[in-house]
A and B are shown apart, each in its own frame.
Chain A
């Protein structure tokens, strides 16, 4: 379980945005996203979440589609 970062994905928004799922998988430098079970969806690779570099590349999609939460800011 990740200790420092949480990655929240809004499945509906991702599925509704053409090509976003593939783009998320492509851009994340530390492979936090993988293809989900449904077409056009992503799943979060829990083992990699603490590697998040906070590069914000995954936040370039529609607002709210992906959120990065720093658990150390609780």
Chain B
């Protein structure tokens, strides 16, 4: 269940993580008043559920302004954004602060390791993009969801960013607070995409978003009531489609491995994605390569071959999908050979040649050597982790678009 950025910032501020001074405005008039009150250089950010995952600082979701008039016209424009069938929940008008350095923090639940995963980088942005472009600048650490979060882990991660002294202590403080609120609020994702260090050394959470476990809504009643989320509201932008329900059924029917959320899009690039983090970057990579994803479907945690077969048939059987790409962004413990067996078997059982239907297989994981032998036997293009996800996505899109 996604929170709007202003809601995430409410939670962060409550737990002692500083956020920029600002206020939410429902319309252009309120935005102008907020801008007048705040003064100086400001940013106006559309409050979105769908778009904010890709980064609230995206140019089409926010605008820099320095007057009440500009704030009003920016708001008028931003409120026209289609947020998956609904309009933005107003805008956030915030002060802009000069940063001397920027960082990115991300905590998500790693379904394969069955533990929260903390990632930190010494540049701002979407952590999955950073992990792909600059893996050497990302520090990662799993931690237990069962025992209280240790300050030691936070210090270790801060030290991994090359910080020391008071800078290390400040960063460790933010990391520890973020990890604790992640656990306390049953979040599945808590990201500060831009954590700015100001001239006085203090840290400020500039861009952020969070997701809460839907099943936790009864435990988090008070918070949801505060944000005006009704009992039946899952904040999903629309009801699940038949395709998505079929994906859930495949997962429910076989306890081996996990099929993550299956989401239907309108494109023609079928995706079978190796879970373990980074999956959203994959759909972005397909889009950047000029492709139009037909779906999002993550598989991991050592699925049975039968489960991979069923998912492959679901994705390849989707109207408009002629070919699929099997990709994973990060190295995981998922057995690449079992996934290879499953997708190839699924394609063959549908009466097709694997080499015609599987555009690329990039699943760095366990038992890769056997996966390579299987893929070679069936003539499926395979690439290992030395091929970037952008390149793999480009190869897949090129084959699909001819």
Binding site for B on A (CB under 8 A): 3-4, 30, 50-51, 53-54, 70, 72-74
Contacts and interface: CB of A to CB of B under 8 A. Distances in A.
A3 B345 contact: yes
A72 B345 CA distance: 13
A30 B303 CA distance: 12
Given A4-B341, A4-B345, A72-B370, 6 more contacts: A3-B345, A50-B341, A50-B345, A53-B335, A53-B338, A74-B377
A74 B345 CA distance: 17
Interface of B: 304-306, 335, 338, 341, 344-345, 348, 367, 370, 373-374, 377
A72 B379 CA distance: 12
Contacts of A3: 341, 344-345, 348
Contacts of B304: 30, 51
Most A CB atoms within 10 A — which of B341, B344, B345?
B341
Nearest to B302: A53
Contacts of B335: 53
A51 B306 contact: yes
A30 B373 CA distance: 22
A11 B373 CA distance: 30
A54 B371 CA distance: 13
B62 to A, nearest CB: 49
B1 to A, nearest CB: 35
Contacts of B367: 54
B373 A72 contact: yes
B341 A70 contact: no
B306 A72 contact: no
